[in-house]
């Protein structure tokens, strides 16, 4: 006996089957886990990965967001505008970082090795990496992000929709997902393969000026710039004077305590040769200027000879492999052009 099925019934069956296949495809997403491994001899990272486990898809999405100027109100400023990859993800060449209204009030620090920082920003006002991502978005002189417009952009962009679904599953894209993705990319930015690291691993040797500089560093600098991260991430007043225009009181602006006046987080010295100018407001154009400040303010006794040897050692903290790692960059041509420009300035 042959059963006849109407055209309408066939359409219903086919539609239901297609819906089931589509739903199975959507809800069976399986992001690929990425293991975070600390370099040998390093302390455990401060970041809580259990709340935002790294995945291949999450890191890729975070990288796309990091380099996207659509995160700013006028579509001109991305995270990489201030955190330049060719400058170890810090601000290079100009004292203050440039935002949507031209100048901000600080010089953006390097993002390498943020997994080991318990607090972010020079004054430590961001307690998590996700909270830090929101601060420049809400700042009118940095990104001044129009949050509703940004969410509309990512929710209607086919490429973003696909990447967010792959990273976090099928749902309406929200700011939590955006900040978590940005965090995942930034957490992947690990710098641990400088000449210094190779010497510590027994793979290379210091030349004499570097060796002498290392010995001076161990005696006079290591209490704040503690290896292997080359910072203890404490907040210090290094005999700075307050800029009369910026009126930046440092950590006191966040805590409200006069004891924190002009205290700023100790920066890491990794890749320091590439991140000039130095200081929270970029007031020191060269490493020589920084070392002269410590000498003239009476904080560290340094001879001209010691300054020369220290500089030689600090140059061994440059990690060229991290600077040219394609996983960190929007495109190889970009970093090569930037590095070529640096070499001629």
Q: What does the pLDDT average to over 126-138?
A: 97
Q: What residues form DSSP beta bridges with 263? A: 250
- The token pair at 50 is 């259990």
Which CATH superfamily is 49-190 part of?
Cytochrome c-like domain (1.10.760.10)
Domain extent listing, the chain: 49-190, 195-318
Report residue 144's pLDDT band, with 50, 70 and 90 as the boundaries.
very high
Residue 284, CA distances (Å) to 173, 265, 276 in order = 42, 16, 8
Query: Between 175-187 and 129-138, two packed helices, what is the crossing angle to 10 degrees?
Result: 120
Average pLDDT, the chain: 90
* 159-211 pLDDT per residue, tens: 999 999 999 999 999 999 999 999 999 999 999 999 999 999 999 999 999 99
Cα atoms in the Cβ-side hemisphere of radius 13 Å centred on 63: 17
- The token pair at 26 is 């959507």
3-state secondary structure of 189: coil
Q: What does the pLDDT average to over 81-109?
A: 94
| Spacing of C-alpha 1 from chain mean position | 71
Q: What does the pLDDT average to over 102-122?
A: 96
C-beta separation of 105 from 246 below 8 A: yes
* 94-106 pLDDT per residue, tens: 999 999 988 899 9
Lowest mean pLDDT among 66-70, 93-97, 331-335: 331-335
C-beta separation of 299 from 238 below 8 A: yes
Q: Is the peptide bond before 119 cis (omega within 30 degrees of 0)?
A: no
Which of 210, 318, 307 is CA-nearest to residue 269? 318
Asked if the model's pLDDT at residue 333 lies above 60, the reply is: no
Query: Would you say the CATH fold of 195-318 matches that of 49-190?
Result: yes
Q: At which residue do the structure tokens 């380099």 appear?
A: 67
Lowest mean pLDDT among 91-105, 132-146, 287-301, 302-316: 91-105
Give dist(CA 177, CA 58) in Å, integer. Answer: 9
Report residue 155's pLDDT band, with 50, 70 and 90 as the boundaries.
very high
The pTM score is: 0.88
Q: What does the pLDDT average to over 220-237?
A: 98
Q: What does the pLDDT average to over 223-252?
A: 97
**What pLDDT score was predicted for residue 345?**
32
* 32-61 pLDDT per residue, tens: 999 999 999 999 999 999 999 999 999 999
Report residue 21's pLDDT band, with 50, 70 and 90 as the boundaries.
very low
Which of 83, 104, 105, 79 is CA-nearest to residue 92? 83
Q: What does the pLDDT average to over 243-266?
A: 96
C-beta separation of 314 from 273 below 8 A: yes
DSSP 80-140: HHHSBGGGTTB--SSSS-EETTEE-SS-PPP-TTGGG-SSBSTT--BSSHHHHHHHHHH-T
SS3 of 12-75: the string is HHHHHHHHHHHHHHHHCCCCCECCCCCCCCCCCCCCCHHHCCCEHHHHHHHHHHHCCHHHCCCC
**What pLDDT score was predicted for residue 10?**
43
**What pLDDT score was predicted for residue 338?**
37
Q: What does the pLDDT average to over 313-339?
A: 78
**What pLDDT score was predicted for residue 101?**
84
- The token pair at 39 is 């370099």
Which CATH superfamily is 195-318 part of?
Cytochrome c-like domain (1.10.760.10)
Give dist(CA 214, CA 24) in Å, integer. Answer: 59
Give dist(CA 228, CA 190) in Å, integer. Answer: 12
Lowest mean pLDDT among 18-27, 76-85, 229-238: 18-27
Higher pLDDT pick, 248 / 5: 248
């Amino acid at each position: 006996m042959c059963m006849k099925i109407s055209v309408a019934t066939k359409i219903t069956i086919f539609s239901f089957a297609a819906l089931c296949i589509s739903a199975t495809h959507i809800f069976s997403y399986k992001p690929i886990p990425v293991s975070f491994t600390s370099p040998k001899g390093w302390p455990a990272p401060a970041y809580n990965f259990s709340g935002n486990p790294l995945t291949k898809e999450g890191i890729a999405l975070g990288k796309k967001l990091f380099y996207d100027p659509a995160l700013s109100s006028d579509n001109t400023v991305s995270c990489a505008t201030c955190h330049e990859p060719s400058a170890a993800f810090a601000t290079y060449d100009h004292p203050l970082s440039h935002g949507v209204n031209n100048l901000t009030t600080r010089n953006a620090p390097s993002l390498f090795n943020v997994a080991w920082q318990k607090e972010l920003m020079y004054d430590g006002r961001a307690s998590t990496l996700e909270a830090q991502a929101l601060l420049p978005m809400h700042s009118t002189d940095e990104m001044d992000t129009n949050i509703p417009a940004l969410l509309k952009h990512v929710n209607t962009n086919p490429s973003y929709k696909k990447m967010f679904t792959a990273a976090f599953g099928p749902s309406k894209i929200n700011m939590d997902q955006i900040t978590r993705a940005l965090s995942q990319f930034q957490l992947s930015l690990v710098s641990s393969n400088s000449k210094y690291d190779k010497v510590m691993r027994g793979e290379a040797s210091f030349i004499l000026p570097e060796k002498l500089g290392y010995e001076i560093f161990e005696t006079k600098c290591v209490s704040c710039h503690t290896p292997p991260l080359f910072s203890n991430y404490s907040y210090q007043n290094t005999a700075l004077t307050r800029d009369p225009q910026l009126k930046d009181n440092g950590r006191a602006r966040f805590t409200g305590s006069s004891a924190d006046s002009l205290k700023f987080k100790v920066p890491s010295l990794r890749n320091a040769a590439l991140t000039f100018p130095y200081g929270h407001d970029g007031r020191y154009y060269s490493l020589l200027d920084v070392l002269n400040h410590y000498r003239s303010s009476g904080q560290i006794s340094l001879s001209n000879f010691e300054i020369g040897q220290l500089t030689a050692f600090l140059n061994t903290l440059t990690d060229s492999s991290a600077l040219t790692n394609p996983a960190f960059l929007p495109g190889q041509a970009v970093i090569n052009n930037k590095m070529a420009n640096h070499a001629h300035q």
